[in-house]
Amino acid sequence: MTNAHYITPAQGYWLLAIFGIGMFLITFIFGRFGKWRTKDGFLVANRDVGWILGGFSIAASWIWAPALFVSVQLAYQKGLAGVFWFTLPNILSLTIFAFLAPKIRKKLPEGYTLPQFIKEKLQSERVHKVYLFPYFFYQLMAVVVQLYAGGSLVALLTGISLPLIMIVLTGIVLAYTLISGLKASIVTDFLQLSTILVIGIIIIPMVVKGADGYQAMSAGLGGIEGIKGILDPGVAFSFGVVTSIGLIAGSIADQSNWQRAFAVRQKDLTKAFIFGSLLFGIVPICLSILGFIAANPASQVVLPAGVDVSMIGVQTIAHFLPSWAVMLFAVAFLSILSSSFDAGLCAASSLWVTDVSKSKNDHEAIVSARRSMSVIALIGLLVALAVAYIPNFGLQQLWWVFNTIAACVMVPTILSLYYDRLDERGVFWGILTAFFVGIPLFVYSNIINQPSWIVASSLMIIAISTGFCLIRFKRATLSVVVPVEIEEV
């Protein structure tokens, strides 16, 4: 690969400027319609989103950086087995909402957030507060991951300073999301997902052709580790179990999914989430072709020193295609990363307005929502800047950590929708115990790189939270001693 395949810094600045202006103008045009200028309009798009637009938004908001980068990395490292155990749980994690979304909408038709439902279901302030931590944390990580991945992408291709890129991306996404809240997010979701699908149809066949055809891809189907079987038991145990738990738990702890469950028309919820899950699956499956090609030694795709392995797909495109194609690809990736970024901001604002500030007035609710977006964006930027300089800590490790925290609330959330005898004490102590016992063990297992320990700690988190939720707590009874006057003899 030569430097001619990279985007020059000047081209990179133009790319960011055109992207930012384009997203802002599109949102501003749609924002001229005043239906979003209420609490319901800003937070849940007036609960009037159809299944097609809703499906695009659901898919786009779930296509985080891992779907774009880790999917290619796994194809490169573990071949078909890695792609299978990444893509299938991702699809299932959205499909499950075809059942959960209609259920919560029936129980709380005018709701906004999952923690709001938990509070009303269990009538517990302490459980509500415990729930807010993983839900806010997940939205913060939505900001951090997209900034980290998007910044790394542009820095790799242009040589522009990573901190500067992160600051610019934060400003772009925050600017257009502040205009009309969830309405802006859904409109841009449709355009951003359409962009990556169209550009993918153009770019990926060009890479295949440049690599001398599909023979180059088939030679890398086992990845650099040479894993031939799609259901390889080693990959299924060491990666598949943890990934499945993390992805399904992550989708349930992602307020952006619940926000769309309250925004899509009730009669369209099942269709929207099934359509969204299928749309999502197209992206990692198609992008995995880049990983297979890179895994073929004959392709001679080599990452520059110090570049995270999750960037192997970008490097493959830069290796085979001219700079204009690389720029086109960068636009597609920035578009879809921004979609997850703005979804995180909108979800955080709905949590803040509904569960913290509890603003009732339309004007106060919108002002509060915009302030919370700005704060979460700033905190996310600071965390992303810190993560970028932590040695031996990449996108995959970041992805595992926040999904494992989400696993602490997965079972209690599902049970809250289907199990009427759920006890708030079981939920409270189950989540706390799973967090303070399971999470440290999971982190330690990853530090020492013991797959069996990693799997065991993930299963322990699920087992602890489930066990506490199913315990029938007996309410304490007080023996009241009534004083009796004794007559004097």
How much of the chain exceeds pLDDT 90, in percent?
45
Q: Does pLDDT of 112 surpass 80?
A: yes
- If one compares 286 and 397, the residue with the highest pLDDT of the two is 286
pLDDT of residue 3: 41
Angle between helices 269-295 and 312-320 (to 10 degrees): 60
Give per-residue pLDDT as tens, 331-375: 888 888 888 888 999 999 999 999 999 877 888 999 999 999 999
pLDDT of residue 157: 80
pLDDT of residue 378: 95
Give per-residue pLDDT as tens, 194-253: 988 999 899 999 999 988 888 888 889 999 998 978 888 888 887 888 888 888 988 999
pLDDT of residue 485: 42
Across the chain, mean pLDDT equals 86
Overall average pLDDT of the 117-131 stretch: 95
Nearest-angstrom CA–CA distance, 169 and 146: 9
Give per-residue pLDDT as tens, 416-474: 999 988 999 999 999 999 989 888 888 788 777 777 888 888 889 999 999 999 886 55
Q: Does pLDDT of 487 surpass 80?
A: no
Nearest-angstrom CA–CA distance, 386 and 398: 12
Residue 488 pLDDT class (50, 70, 90 cuts): very low
The angle at the Cα of 330, spanning 380 to 182, to the nearest 5 degrees, equals 50
Lowest mean pLDDT among 86-90, 194-198, 324-328, 368-372: 324-328
Structure tokens at 250: 């992550």
- If one compares 443 and 287, the residue with the highest pLDDT of the two is 287
Which residues lie below 8 Å from residue 301, measured CB to CB, with a gap of 6+? 1, 293, 294, 312, 315, 316, 319
Q: Does pLDDT of 2 surpass 50?
A: no
How much of the chain exceeds pLDDT 70, in percent?
91
Candidates 222, 88, 134, 212; CA nearest to 403 is: 134
Extents of the domains making up the chain: 3-391
Q: Which CATH code is given to the segment(s) 3-391?
A: 1.20.1730.10
Nearest-angstrom CA–CA distance, 366 and 353: 8
Q: Does pLDDT of 275 surpass 50?
A: yes
pLDDT of residue 325: 85
Structure tokens at 35: 């239906």
3-state class (DSSP) for residue 322: coil
Q: Does pLDDT of 323 surpass 90?
A: no
Buried b or exposed e, range 424-457, using 16+ CB within 10 angstroms: bbbbbbbbbbbbeebbebbeebbeeeeeebbbbb
Q: Does pLDDT of 102 surpass 90?
A: yes
Residue 117 pLDDT class (50, 70, 90 cuts): very high
3-state class (DSSP) for residue 305: coil
Overall average pLDDT of the 81-103 stretch: 94
Q: Does pLDDT of 387 surpass 90?
A: no
Q: Does pLDDT of 483 surpass 50?
A: no
3-state class (DSSP) for residue 282: helix
Phi and psi (nearest 5°) for 141? -65, -30
Overall average pLDDT of the 27-40 stretch: 74
